[in-house]
Amino acid sequence: NAGVTQTPKFQVLKTGQSMTLQCAQDMNHEYMSWYRQDPGMGLRLIHYSVGAGITDQGEVPNGYNVSRSTTEDFPLRLLSAAPSQTSVYFCASNQATNTEAFFGQGTRLTVV
């Protein structure tokens, strides 16, 4: 059972480049979300989706776009990478907002 699959695991970008982080889940969860984790801080919500075709902003959405064309996939796009976006990114899915969140393995992104 794959759960939440997130790719790539590591990425180095130059300032101004764009890229897409992929996230897929096979648990038929309606809720999916993207977080970033920085040292000394808790996970912060970037964007989330409550179902296919529905997305909304979290705490720190600037510089990121998302779409949810299917229940399974929830990609995160960095439009023009900046050093401040150097972080570890986690995708998560859950059946309901107050139930267990399952996380992907994370993407370590460095922007130089």
Partner 1 sequence: RKEVEQDPGPFNVPEGATVAFNCTYSNSASQSFFWYRQDCRKEPKLLMSVYSSGNEDGRFTAQLNRASQYISLLIRDSKLSDSATYLCVVHREHDYKLSFGAGTTVTVRA
Residues that bind partner 1 (CB under 8 A): 31, 33, 35, 40-45, 48, 50, 56, 58-59, 90, 97-98, 100-101, 103-106
The values of phi and psi at residue 38, to 5°, are -120, 150
CB of 74 to partner 1, least distance (A): 14
Length of the chain: 112
CB of 59 to partner 1, least distance (A): 8
CB of 80 to partner 1, least distance (A): 26
Cβ nearer to partner 1, comparing 12 with 80? 12
Helix (H) or strand (E) holding 13: strand 10-13
The values of phi and psi at residue 26, to 5°, are -115, 25
- Label the pairing between strands 10-13 and 107-111: parallel
Cβ nearer to partner 1, comparing 19 with 50? 50
